């Protein structure tokens, strides 16, 4: 791993003072294979600098933790991965009998997005919705007659349904299951799913959006749904999580292997989406990755298993192309392992 010279490459952005910023963290196999670089502030009104323990909203990075909870409850016999979601979530249209939990995990259920905010909207207009309101909307999705498992269609609604199934089957909300089964055992003490009642710690960053007047404003954080998103965490905690994807001290290898096993369509064709993560290649090397995007926030987590290297990039605005920045840093640090003529990781899938 080549850490020297990265400051001189121009890869790391230069940000003005008292601006939202980005936290970049790189972890490698050795004790000195480490880089932490924070730029900007947690909140433009306070000017508090970003650090490795600054807490960010990470959008769809939440999905791999939801998938991990599903996997563990499946192993425990609490959830039936191959059973219909209607078994756990009452009141669904007739498609609830055809859509199984495995379809939701791999985004092969064929469900559309009920609610998908785009990067250009003013978050002050984002409804203060939680899971209850979104579940009401999901129950109105008409039955198209499409067979589940015939195509891959990325959607957040499937993971909202999984969060509901976790809560109903286990008797505890997703936030509690994830804390007890994942966050506490891995010492991820600054990671949590946040609902409307959960107050943010003082060192939590705030998202920022550029309004129609061209000025940056602090994002009000009024969206409280968990499952498709809803996760707050730090670069330090995500490094602990990625270490478990490599070594899996939680289950001795079973969970990591499960989470990184790609899904398949009904006809047997594999897809690149596994359990809340995408499994593909970058410059000739296998990677496990996912991204998160929500008004005021961007995030990316990329793990190179063969190099035992993790790249984390968290931003509290959408002023930077976080995905491109993450791969540029990886291309420099792993230059000796990557083939510059091999294809760049496909970044066309939303949130991945």
| Domain coordinates in residue numbering, the chain | 6-333
Q: Which helix (H) or strand (E) holds 102?
A: helix 101-105
Res. 351 pLDDT band, cuts 50 70 90: very low
Lowest mean pLDDT among 14-23, 54-63, 234-243: 14-23
Give me Rg for the CA atoms of the chain.
Answer: 20
Residue found under tokens 């939440």: 62
pLDDT tens for 123-178 read: 444 556 788 888 888 998 888 888 999 999 998 899 999 999 999 999 999 999 99
Measured between alpha carbons, how far is 322 from 315 in angstroms, rounded to an integer?
7
pTM: 0.93
pLDDT tens for 168-220 read: 999 999 999 999 999 999 999 999 998 777 788 888 999 998 888 888 888 77
Res. 13 pLDDT band, cuts 50 70 90: confident
Provide the pLDDT for residue 191: 98
Q: What is the CATH number of domain 6-333?
A: 3.40.710.10
- Quick one: tokens of 36? 């932490």
Provide the pLDDT for residue 7: 74
């Amino acid at each position: 791993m080549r850490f020297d010279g990265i400051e001189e490459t121009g890869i790391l952005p230069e940000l003005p003072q008292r601006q939202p910023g980005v936290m970049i963290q790189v972890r490698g196999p050795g004790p000195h294979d480490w880089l932490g670089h924070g730029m900007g502030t947690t909140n433009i009104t306070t000017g508090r600098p970003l650090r490795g323990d600054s807490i960010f909203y990470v959008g769809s990075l939440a999905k791999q933790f939801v998938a991990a909870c599903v996997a563990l409850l499946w192993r425990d016999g609490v959830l039936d991965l191959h059973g219909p979601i209607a078994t756990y979530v009452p009141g669904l249209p007739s498609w609830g009998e055809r859509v199984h939990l495995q379809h939701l995990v791999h985004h092969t259920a064929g469900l559309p997005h009920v609610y998908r905010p785009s990067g250009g909207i003013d978050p002050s207009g984002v409804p203060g919705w939680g899971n209850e309101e979104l579940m009401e909307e999901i129950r109105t999705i008409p039955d198209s007659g499409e067979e589940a498992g015939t195509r891959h269609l990325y959607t957040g609604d499937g993971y909202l349904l999984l969060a509901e199934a976790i809560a109903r089957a286990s008797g505890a909300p997703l936030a509690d299951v994830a804390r007890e089964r994942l966050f506490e055992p891995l010492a991820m003490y600054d990671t949590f799913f946040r609902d409307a009642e959960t107050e943010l710690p003082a060192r939590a960053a705030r998202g920022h959006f550029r309004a129609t007047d061209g000025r940056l404003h602090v994002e009000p954080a009024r969206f409280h749904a968990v499952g498709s998103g809803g996760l707050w965490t730090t670069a330090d905690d995500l490094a602990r999580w990625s270490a478990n994807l490599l070594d899996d001290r939680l289950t001795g290898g079973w969970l990591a292997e499960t989470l990184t096993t790609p899904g398949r369509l009904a006809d047997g064709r594999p897809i690149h989406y596994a359990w809340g993560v995408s499994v593909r290649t970058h410059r000739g090397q296998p990677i496990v990755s996912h991204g998160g995007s929500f008004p005021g926030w961007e995030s990316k987590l990329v793990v190179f298993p063969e190099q035992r290297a993790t790249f984390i990039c968290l931003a509290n605005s959408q002023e930077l192309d976080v995905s491109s920045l993450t791969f540029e840093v990886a291309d420099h640090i792993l230059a000796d392992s990557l083939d510059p003529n091999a294809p760049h990781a496909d970044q066309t899938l939303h949130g991945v």
